[in-house]
Chain A
């Protein structure tokens, strides 16, 4: 590169976004990159104050010139659109005017887009290109991560959908119950379906909080597993609702005994942090041999009806469908 004849040429090379302002506040020269930002409105000959809005430092004295702000961090904005924000620093020159070097600062990404700048518009010492590179790489990496999160989220939802266990009690969930019912009916297996609903559970939740409620649910689930056989299916199907499937057990007397024992055990107070939580349970049972063609939906509805008959008769009871 040939030697530079004067200061303007030198500064154009080193600081392509600089301005030279004369002592009266009129712009005498603008660096080539700055000039590119306003191709239709050249800077030379216009007043600095007419082109830029100085945001910092706030001027107490309207007459104060740029040279008086030498060495201070300047924040300014174009008065016309696009109103790009700039940062800068001024130095007093030999004539009492000022050299102001400007930079986009944080607004670099929008600025480069608004003005279609290229690497050639920045001095090699300017980190603008590194910053843009970083932004672009970060965006690509973030997009990949976002996709990954979405995929994981989808996989998690699918896994939950596929899960067969109720996380609160460790019993089977509604989906597992449906699968077991479907299998027993299609196998032509004899079974009884008992719908159990906890009584006064809501009071525990309301007065002692959800932690107490969760504890009571776990205890109730424990009682149910103790009072049933290993081959039976125990499922939690709602907040305080359970469905028990008794495999190959259709004897009303035995089912009645099991229900009575279960309810009695559930009525024993459950201790939670020194509080005695008293609940009870109502139950309704439908038996597969009572149907010519048992269907899951029908048996669930009938057991539910028997349960509500039990509740109407007073809490802590068990009823069969059909009642008899």
Chain B
């Protein structure tokens, strides 16, 4: 698992619950420190174990914790860049859904060893979609649910999301878009402000 992803998990936990639970989870994993290097690829089992330790330590079920992580990634001002990246993908929420397939390749353009979950969208008509998510991290589909929920909000779309469990090694997320312009979208422009 890429160090940048573990760092995002760390930021989420520390911002939401404080440094204590993060340090406790690192200790539970038998780690000497609490820091991860951003450009090192770690064993996926390590991230998996950290998530379990956090879930136990915080008494929050793993799916809920992962969904919170997804929401945090989109909504925290600290990762405004991530939100902008996602908004790059489409002018509206449904455009965005269709462009998700390209997300891992786009991330790899800049960071060649970044392996994001492989996403595949299937349209079932009338605003219904089934998104499959294949990842090293069990429960990545829940992170996706959190991200999609926050992005729907960001686009001002009204959508319901449902994690349907795993089929054929991929987690399935059902998306139902009721109204694509339910509320005013958060203002957004594509311009990247570096720094």
Q: Which residues of B contact A109 (CB under 8 A)?
A: 191-192
B84 within 8 A of A: yes
> Once bound together, how far apart are the Cα atoms of A137 and B192, in whole Å?
10
- Smallest beta-carbon distance A39→chain B, Å: 15
Residue of B nearest to A137 (CB): B110
Do the beta carbons of A112 and B81 come within 8 Å of each other?
Answer: no
Given contacts A136-B84, A147-B38, contact A113 B191 (CB under 8 A): yes
Given contacts A110-B191, A117-B190, contact A141 B84 (CB under 8 A): no
- Proximity bits, B86-107, A CB within 8 Å = 1, else 0: 0011110001000000000011
Q: Which residues of A contact B111 (CB under 8 A)?
A: 137, 141
> Once bound together, how far apart are the Cα atoms of A145 and B81, in whole Å?
15
Residue of A nearest to B194 (CB): A139
- Smallest beta-carbon distance A66→chain B, Å: 30
Do the beta carbons of A145 and B191 come within 8 Å of each other?
Answer: no
- Proximity bits, B149-161, A CB within 8 Å = 1, else 0: 0000000000000
Q: Which residues of A contact B84 (CB under 8 A)?
A: 136
B29 within 8 A of A: no
Q: Which of A98-149 contact B (CB under 8 A)?
A: 109-110, 112-114, 116-120, 129-130, 132-145, 147-148
B193 within 8 A of A: yes
Q: Which residues of A contact B7 (CB under 8 A)?
A: 144
Residue of A nearest to B82 (CB): A140
Q: Which residues of A contact B191 (CB under 8 A)?
A: 109-110, 112-114, 116, 132
- Proximity bits, B35-56, A CB within 8 Å = 1, else 0: 1011100000000000000000
B184 within 8 A of A: no
The residue from A112, A116, A135, A148 contacting B194, defined by CB atoms under 8 A apart: A135
Q: Which residues of A contact B106 (CB under 8 A)?
A: 130, 133, 137
- Smallest beta-carbon distance A16→chain B, Å: 13
Given contacts A118-B188, A137-B109, contact A132 B88 (CB under 8 A): yes
Do the beta carbons of A141 and B192 come within 8 Å of each other?
Answer: no
B4 within 8 A of A: yes
> Once bound together, how far apart are the Cα atoms of A113 and B188, in whole Å?
10
The residue from A112, A142, A148 contacting B190, defined by CB atoms under 8 A apart: A112
Q: Which residues of A contact B190 (CB under 8 A)?
A: 112-113, 117-119, 129, 132
Total interface residues on A, CB under 8 Å, equals 29
Do the beta carbons of A120 and B91 come within 8 Å of each other?
Answer: yes
Do the beta carbons of B195 and A136 come within 8 Å of each other?
Answer: no
> Once bound together, how far apart are the Cα atoms of A137 and B102, in whole Å?
14
> Once bound together, how far apart are the Cα atoms of A151 and B106, in whole Å?
29
Do the beta carbons of A136 and B189 come within 8 Å of each other?
Answer: no
Do the beta carbons of B109 and A136 come within 8 Å of each other?
Answer: no
- Smallest beta-carbon distance B106→chain A, Å: 5
Residue of B nearest to A128 (CB): B190
B85 within 8 A of A: yes
Q: Which residues of A contact B82 (CB under 8 A)?
A: 140
Q: Which residues of A contact B189 (CB under 8 A)?
A: 112-113, 116-118
Residue of A nearest to B95 (CB): A119
Residue of A nearest to B84 (CB): A136
Do the beta carbons of A118 and B192 come within 8 Å of each other?
Answer: no
Do the beta carbons of B85 and A148 come within 8 Å of each other?
Answer: no
Do the beta carbons of A144 and B4 come within 8 Å of each other?
Answer: yes
- Proximity bits, B174-195, A CB within 8 Å = 1, else 0: 0000000000000011111111
Q: Which residues of A contact B194 (CB under 8 A)?
A: 135, 139, 142
Q: Which residues of A contact B95 (CB under 8 A)?
A: 119
Do the beta carbons of B195 and A138 come within 8 Å of each other?
Answer: no
Do the beta carbons of B85 and A119 come within 8 Å of each other?
Answer: no
**Could you show 18 A-B contacts with beta carbons less than 8 Å apart?**
A109-B191, A113-B190, A116-B189, A118-B188, A118-B189, A119-B90, A119-B95, A129-B88, A132-B191, A133-B88, A134-B109, A136-B81, A136-B85, A136-B192, A139-B192, A140-B82, A148-B38, A148-B39
* A→B interface (CB under 8 Å): 109-110, 112-114, 116-120, 129-130, 132-145, 147-148, 151
The 6 A-B residue pairs with the shortest CB-CB distance in the complex, in nearest-first order: A113-B191, A137-B110, A144-B38, A116-B189, A120-B91, A112-B191
Other A-B contacts than A113-B189, A119-B95, 10 sampled, CB-CB below 8 A, are A109-B191, A113-B192, A118-B190, A119-B88, A133-B106, A133-B110, A137-B109, A140-B4, A141-B4, A143-B81
